[in-house]
């Protein structure tokens, strides 16, 4: 009878040495399993599968995303942290589909000699951040993860959408993102820098689209993001678009961007202030600016006509917006 290692006599050791069913080949060898046996068990039809060089999954069905992330970390080593789009998704951001979902971007110490492989992209760095643990996975801080993602992409639209997600849902300040872009490699940072500068006074990409769309109106907004106050100087709101001659406000409201934490309550309070002072308001979802622009233009023109037919309420631009 051929000699069998401890793994066969004590199969529970496989689970003990694995992480959620993912294990290093060297750990299998420590249980007296030969490389030939490991190879054979990972062949098509075998009970296991190879996910990465030296990394084995102890079942032969489709690996879950969690198992891929664990495998990547085992491959990267004890100091590896997940960054880029993969980390942004773990933080709960809505990452555009243009960022490959299958890819796992890892940061490892600069002295670590390891290459990218399969679905794992390895980046050696002298600026290895301290990990933020999320569901037991070490992630780069969200600001770093966001900048690592956008600097590896060349398309403006997905870069902009991810930056806005990080700012509005992830609570990263634009200044913090800019500082992180300054600290790291300058390769791939020109476009996100340009967008951050371009949107200095914008709160979302939808507002940028709205500005473009408004050029098709007979009377475009007279101001963008102005502070509005009542006759006593009390603050009312800061609409995205504003027609000062008729006191018409245009708000680009989004369930995705505003209906979280206290965002919904703030939206209600803002609308109540508008109504109390007689301001006419048009609320538009960002998706409609992109997908139904003609209807949005019709609504704005109709609202402008109605606003011009009523006495203009006593509301004013604050001094900072005048």
Residue ranges covered by each domain of the chain: 6-63, 66-198, 218-317
Closest among 209, 210, 206, 146 to 174, alpha carbons compared? 146
- In tens, the pLDDT along 39-79 reads 999 999 999 999 999 999 999 999 999 999 999 999 999 99
310 has a pLDDT exceeding 80? yes
Closest among 225, 180, 170 to 202, alpha carbons compared? 225
Residue 237 backbone phi and psi in degrees, to 5? 180, 180
Question: What is the dihedral sign for C-alpha 272, 273, 274, 278?
Answer: positive
Mean pLDDT on 97-122: 95
Rounded distance between C-alpha atoms, residue 282 and residue 303, angstroms: 7
- Asked whether 193 and 174 are in contact (CB, 8 A), the reply is no
pLDDT at 223: 95
110 has a pLDDT exceeding 70? yes
Q: Which residue has the tokens 């951040």?
A: 129
- In tens, the pLDDT along 8-37 reads 555 667 777 889 999 999 988 888 888 899
- In tens, the pLDDT along 272-291 reads 888 889 999 999 988 788 78
pLDDT at 2: 46
Q: How many Cβ atoms sit within 10 Å of the Cβ of residue 212?
A: 11
Mean pLDDT on 119-147: 95
3-state secondary structure of 298: helix
In the chain, the percentage of residues whose pLDDT exceeds 90 is 59
Query: Residue 2 has which token pair?
Result: 């051929």
Closest among 237, 239, 197, 195 to 214, alpha carbons compared? 239
Reported pTM: 0.69
- DSSP per residue over 164-203, as a string? HHHHHTS---HHHHHHHHHHS--TT-HHHHHHHHHTTT-S
Q: How many Cβ atoms sit within 10 Å of the Cβ of residue 159?
A: 25
pLDDT at 189: 87
158 has a pLDDT exceeding 80? yes
pLDDT at 4: 58
Closest among 95, 86, 194 to 145, alpha carbons compared? 86
- Asked whether 203 and 168 are in contact (CB, 8 A), the reply is yes
- In tens, the pLDDT along 182-198 reads 887 788 888 898 888 87
pLDDT at 88: 96
Q: Which residue has the tokens 């496989």?
A: 14
Q: Please list, in sequence order, all residues whose beta carbon lies within 8 angstroms of the beta carbon of residue 149, skipping any fewer than 6 positions away.
A: 83, 84, 85, 88, 95, 99, 105, 162
Task: Quickly state the pLDDT bin for 208 (edges 50, 70, 90).
Answer: confident
pLDDT at 167: 82
CA 169 to chain centre: 8
- Asked whether 316 and 278 are in contact (CB, 8 A), the reply is no
Contacts of residues 231-240 at CB distance under 8 Å and 24 or more positions apart, as own/partner, are: 231/314, 231/315, 231/316, 233/318, 235/318, 236/273, 236/274, 236/277, 236/279, 236/315, 237/270, 237/273, 237/274, 237/279, 239/281, 240/203, 240/207, 240/210
């Amino acid at each position: 009878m051929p000699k069998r290692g401890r793994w066969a006599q004590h199969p529970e050791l496989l689970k003990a040495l694995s992480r959620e069913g993912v294990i290093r080949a060297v750990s299998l060898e420590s249980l007296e399993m030969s490389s030939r046996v490991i190879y054979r068990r990972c062949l098509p039809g075998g009970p296991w599968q190879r996910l990465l060089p030296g990394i084995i999954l102890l079942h032969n069905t489709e690996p879950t995303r969690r198992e891929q992330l664990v495998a990547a970390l085992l491959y990267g080593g004890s100091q590896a942290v997940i960054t880029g789009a993969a980390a942004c998704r773990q933080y709960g951001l809505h990452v555009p589909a243009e960022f490959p979902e299958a890819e796992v971007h890892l940061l490892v110490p600069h002295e670590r000699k390891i290459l990218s492989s399969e679905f794992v992209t390895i980046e050696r760095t002298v600026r290895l951040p301290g990990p933020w643990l999320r569901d037991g996975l070490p992630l780069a801080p969200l600001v770093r993860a966001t900048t690592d993602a956008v600097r590896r992409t060349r398309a403006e639209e997905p870069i902009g959408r991810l930056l806005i997600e990080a700012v509005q849902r992830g609570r990263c300040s634009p200044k913090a993102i800019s500082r992180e872009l300054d600290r790291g490699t300058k390769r791939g940072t020109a476009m996100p820098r340009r967008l951050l500068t371009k949107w200095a006074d914008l709160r979302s990409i939808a507002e940028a689209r709205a500005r473009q769309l408004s050029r098709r109106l007979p009377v475009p907004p007279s101001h963008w993001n102005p502070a509005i106050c009542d006759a006593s100087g009390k603050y009312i709101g800061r609409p995205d678009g504003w027609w000062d001659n008729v006191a018409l406000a245009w708000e680009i409201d989004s369930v995705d961007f505003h209906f979280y934490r206290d965002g919904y309550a703030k939206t209600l309070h803002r609308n109540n202030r508008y109504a109390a002072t007689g301001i006419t308001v048009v609320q538009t979802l960002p998706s409609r600016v992109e997908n139904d622009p003609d209807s949005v233009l019709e609504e704005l023109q109709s609202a402008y006509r109605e606003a011009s037919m009523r006495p203009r309420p006593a509301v004013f631009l604050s001094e900072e917006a005048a």
